[in-house]
């Protein structure tokens, strides 16, 4: 059985400051877990998130939806300096494609 807390976005990174691996969860930016190994950091942050979700549910609080299960429209607005907009428009025109296609290709790299 897959728990809802297993669907969250986890990351482990090394911290020179803490001299430890730090486990993080994107949906719960205020939570972390430090450990001597990456495996222990991941196990620790997963346990903290699981406990937090259970506590939030018991208190009828809104639990964050995992990023992996959210529905995305594929549209978002990005503000860029006018010269960047101009350069992208020129590149699109010279390539015979839409500005959207050029921007999408650059963002996917």
pLDDT at 83: 96
Q: Give the structural domain span for 87.
A: 72-107
pLDDT value, residue 3? 79
| Residue 23 sits in the same domain as residue 60 | yes
Whether residue 88 contacts residue 101, with contact meaning beta carbons closer than 8 Å, is answered with: no
**CATH code of the domain containing 49:** 3.30.160.250
The token pair that represents 34 in the structure block:
């430090």
Task: Tell whether 24 and 63 lie within a shared domain.
Answer: yes
Q: What is the pLDDT of residue 67?
A: 94
Contact indicator for 82, 21 with CB cutoff of 8 Å: no
Please tell me the pTM assigned to this model.
0.74
Residue indicated by tokens 């998130």? 49
Mean pLDDT by 10 residues, the chain (109 residues): 87 98 97 98 97 96 94 92 95 94 92
Same domain for 8 and 46: yes
Domain count, the chain: 2
Query: Is residue 57 located within the same domain as residue 14?
Result: yes
Q: Are residues 61 and 77 in the same domain?
A: no
Q: What is the pLDDT of residue 57?
A: 95
């Amino acid at each position: 059985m897959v728990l809802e807390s297993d669907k969250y976005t986890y990351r482990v990174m090394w911290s020179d400051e803490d001299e430890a691996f730090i486990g993080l969860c994107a949906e719960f930016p205020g939570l972390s877990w430090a450990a001597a190994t990456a495996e222990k950091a991941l196990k620790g942050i997963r346990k903290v998130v699981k406990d937090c979700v259970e506590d939030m549910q018991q208190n009828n609080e809104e639990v964050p939806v995992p990023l992996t299960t959210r529905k995305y429209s594929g549209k978002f607005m990005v503000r860029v300096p006018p010269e960047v907009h101009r350069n992208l428009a020129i590149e699109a025109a010279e390539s015979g494609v839409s500005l959207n296609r050029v921007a999408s290709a650059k963002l996917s790299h």
